[in-house]
Amino acid sequence: MKTSKRLLLLSVLSALPGAAAAADGAAVDTSQWKCESCKFEQGTTGSVTMGAGAVSDNSAKFGDYTGLNRKGAYFIGDGDARYRGADGKYWNLNATNLGLDARSVDAEGGQQGKYKLQLKYDQIPHYLTNSSQTPFDGNRGASLTLPAGYPAATTGLMPLVGSLQSVDLGTERKTLGVGGSWTRTSEWEYAVNFRHETRDGTKRTAGAFFVNTANLAEPVRYETDQLDASASYTGKRLQMKFAYYGSMFRNENDSLTWKNPFSIPAFPGANIGQLALAPDNQYHQLQASSGFQFNERTRGTADIAAGRMTQNENFLASTMNAGLGAGPLPSTTLNGRADTLNANLKLTSAVTNKIRLNAAYSHNDRESHTPQAAYPSVTTDMFLGLPTTRTNMPYTFKQDKLKFSAEYKATAKTRAAIGYDNDTQQRNFQSIAKNREETVWGKATTGIMDKADLSLKLAHAERRNFGYIAAIGVTPLENPLMRKYNMASRTRETVGVRADVSPRENVTMGVGIDNSKDTYTESTIGLRDGSSFNVNGDISIAFTPATSVHVFANREVIKSQQAGSQAFSYADWTANNKDTIDFFGLGVKHAMIKDKLDVGADYGLSRSRGEVNVLTGVWTPGFPNLATSMNTFKLSMTYRVKENLSVNAGYWYERYESKNWAQEGLAPSGVPNVIANFLAFGDPAPQYKVQVVRLSMKYKF
């Protein structure tokens, strides 16, 4: 570079006799020096994108999280701007998807090394379905009523044809965040961030009167405030951070009541049901963390966080049926409290240039301090439960993890590592008091003549429990032979192989295989074994500097076997489950006119199939297969009118089909397959075929 050459020349001249005196006697004029490879952006720059798009059809499934759920045109609006000043002052502004319900805007500004201010807004829709039907009135509210003609003994006798109405299920989340940080000295920085989130809409739930059930639209009116505050210190060898986190949740509705659509003459008073909704609650946590560089090879980090969760909402009545004669509640509120403790220690040391040792320990603790009390037991507002009272359990969970590993670097491209992990968990009032899982693993990578990279991963894990009993406080009692899969003794074997090859400069290929096998060695009833097999491959080819192609394919097969007992004894039935997921992707990029016109195309195909076969000792018809398929095709084009002006066009086609026997024939009107005691929303398995076109212009300034 010119600057480097001038500096080198100056240093040579200053070393010559007489030159040093000249240099000392007169200051060197550096006003014309310039670093031609260093570009420091100053002033205001940015871009604005505006245009229009159109969606061909309505689909909640297609528009989930994207906001493209409604048929018709929509506005395309994106933009960004930034400013950089010579004194280190700056600001950034970004806006995305302004014409959709999935939009975001964020701004940040300050002075480098001194302070920073932030403002952020996000809006995210979560669409569940737009095809639900229900006879209930008052949807989106906390009280559901029924029109004339209800209740009836069965769904077949209900006047559904004339009383059904559509109800969209889904929520919309809006988050507004403000924050800032301040650097008081070169070592200390302080930060405060606040977020206010609202979530509004409806979601699917159900209410039951013993054997009669109805789908209900549960109102969602949530508000959550979150506050983060921290002070950080950064020294040459020591780093520390002290922080506070708080979360306050509020629900506008404390319950959902609904009229019983089923008439039950034998149980007078069972005509109104009530469900408790998520209660107001809070969580507060204090955290301290540090890192220390003992020497150039060894570093240690530690952090500890103590938190407290509280919930003290007023209790609802035990039942809406005054004729049951349920006993009084032991108190007016739960006075719920649970304390959490999380701690981590980590030590890393490069004992030599080739060997690195790592050790880590973590402790997680959740302990309930909620007072125990006996509560009246009521079964779906129809009759008192057995036993007549139930006592809440102060569940406690503790987990300790130890990890040790060693890494060896043989050459620049050949590395190996081995490790040992120990995970011990303790619980009370559950099926096991303690279990421990130990894992040994190893991995290695190597390169072959700059043409190929190979990697191998192996792991063996064994989980053992220390005594298994039926869960405490569960009525009716659990089968003593049952083992819950997350607590049961288990052996897991995993292996993974990956190869990446570059036979030519313009071609790269890769293939990988991952396989795992779980065996539940002591489970008579419950999950007995499981396996997962995944194979994937990809290839990228740059035919010319203007044209490139990328292909990707993946297959995953997941299998499991579970056993059960209908007679509450030894296993008298088993079920074999198999899920197969396939994916294929193809992408092409081509510069039709150099520095002027770029086009691209992407195609994706995914298929999944779920098979469930049940064996009972006699011939049993199998369940129909579950299936989904999705085809996605996208075209894009960018034409640069000028250096700072471009036109963008896009086309997106997507088709989704699914088959789910559990949803088929559950129309509320009972056609074609009536379920006399289940009033369903009647949502079919999702299907859609949607096209999206976009045309926009982007201007850079």
Digit-coded pLDDT (tens) for 411-462: 989 999 999 999 999 999 999 999 999 999 999 999 988 889 999 999 999 9
The sign of the CA dihedral 405, 408, 412, 415 is negative
Q: How much of the chain, in percent, has pLDDT values that exceed 90?
A: 84
| Cβ pair 84, 63 in contact under 8 A | no
Check residue 122 and give its pLDDT.
Answer: 97
Of 637, 666, 669, 662, the closest CA to residue 652 belongs to 637
**Helix spans in 40-101 (H):** 60-63
Check residue 8 and give its pLDDT.
Answer: 37
Task: Please report where in the chains the tokens 């659509």 appear, as a residue.
Answer: 261
**Full DSSP string of 303-357:** EEEEEEEEE-PBPPPS-S-GGG-PPPPS-SB--EEEEEEEEEEEEEE--SSSEEE
Task: Please report where in the chains the tokens 């009246």 appear, as a residue.
Answer: 376
Check residue 7 and give its pLDDT.
Answer: 36
Query: At residue 24, does pLDDT exceed 50?
Result: no
Lowest mean pLDDT segment, chosen from 5-14, 114-123, 144-153, 158-167 = 5-14
- For the chain, how far is it from start to end, CA to CA, in angstroms? 30
Distance between CA atoms of residues 606 and 603, nearest Å = 10
The sign of the CA dihedral 28, 33, 37, 40 is positive
619 CB-side CA count, 13 A: 1
Residues facing residue 156 across a β-bridge? none
Decide: helix, strand or coil at residue 13.
helix
Distance between CA atoms of residues 330 and 271, nearest Å = 26
Mean pLDDT of the region 545-551: 97
Distance between CA atoms of residues 199 and 125, nearest Å = 9
Distance between CA atoms of residues 282 and 248, nearest Å = 5
Could you tell me the pLDDT band of residue 556, with boundaries at 50, 70 and 90?
very high
Lowest mean pLDDT segment, chosen from 76-85, 261-270, 385-394, 673-682 = 673-682
| Cβ pair 207, 213 in contact under 8 A | yes
Distance between CA atoms of residues 313 and 243, nearest Å = 28
Query: At residue 623, does pLDDT exceed 90?
Result: no
Query: At residue 583, does pLDDT exceed 70?
Result: yes
Distance between CA atoms of residues 224 and 196, nearest Å = 6
Query: At residue 9, does pLDDT exceed 50?
Result: no
| Cβ pair 34, 6 in contact under 8 A | no
Mean pLDDT of the region 203-214: 95
Q: What radius of gyration, in Å, describes the C-alpha atoms of the chain?
A: 32
Distance between CA atoms of residues 156 and 669, nearest Å = 7
Residues 6+ away with beta carbon under 8 Å from 608: 579, 580, 581, 582, 626, 627, 628, 629
Report CA dihedral (98, 101, 102, 105) to the nearest 10 degrees.
40
Query: At residue 174, does pLDDT exceed 50?
Result: yes
Check residue 581 and give its pLDDT.
Answer: 98
Distance between CA atoms of residues 423 and 437, nearest Å = 5
Mean pLDDT of the region 38-45: 79
Helix H or strand E encompassing 5 = helix 2-15
Query: At residue 237, does pLDDT exceed 90?
Result: yes
Could you tell me the pLDDT band of residue 675, with boundaries at 50, 70 and 90?
confident
Check residue 1 and give its pLDDT.
Answer: 38
Distance between CA atoms of residues 320 and 257, nearest Å = 9
Q: How much of the chain, in percent, has pLDDT values that exceed 70?
A: 93
Query: At residue 22, does pLDDT exceed 50?
Result: no
Check residue 561 and give its pLDDT.
Answer: 97
Task: Please report where in the chains the tokens 């549960």 appear, as a residue.
Answer: 218
Tokens (6 digits) for 511: 């293939």
Distance between CA atoms of residues 74 and 68, nearest Å = 9
Measured CA distances, 469 to 397, 522, 562 (Å) = 17, 13, 19
Distance between CA atoms of residues 325 and 384, nearest Å = 8
Predicted TM-score (pTM) of the model is 0.88
Check residue 36 and give its pLDDT.
Answer: 60
pLDDT tens for 258-294 read 999 999 999 999 999 999 999 999 999 999 999 999 9
Residues 6+ away with beta carbon under 8 Å from 505: none
Measured CA distances, 163 to 4, 134, 599, 648 (Å) = 83, 8, 52, 48
Of 168, 179, 167, 171, the closest CA to residue 136 belongs to 167
Residues 6+ away with beta carbon under 8 Å from 592: 546, 598, 599
Check residue 31 and give its pLDDT.
Answer: 59
Check residue 564 and give its pLDDT.
Answer: 95
Could you tell me the pLDDT band of residue 663, with boundaries at 50, 70 and 90?
confident
DSSP state of 371: P
Neighbours of 69 (CB within 10 A): 24
Q: pLDDT averaged over the chain? A: 92
Buried b (16+ CB within 10 A) or exposed e, 224-235: bebebebebeee
Check residue 2 and give its pLDDT.
Answer: 42
Strands (DSSP E) found in 56-140: 72-84, 89-96, 104-111, 115-134
Q: Which amino acid is at 516?
A: S
Task: Please report where in the chains the tokens 């997350």 appear, as a residue.
Answer: 486
Check residue 407 and give its pLDDT.
Answer: 98
Check residue 664 and give its pLDDT.
Answer: 78
Distance between CA atoms of residues 678 and 212, nearest Å = 6
Neighbours of 681 (CB within 10 A): 21
Check residue 178 and give its pLDDT.
Answer: 98
Distance between CA atoms of residues 227 and 286, nearest Å = 12
Tokens (6 digits) for 98: 């302004």
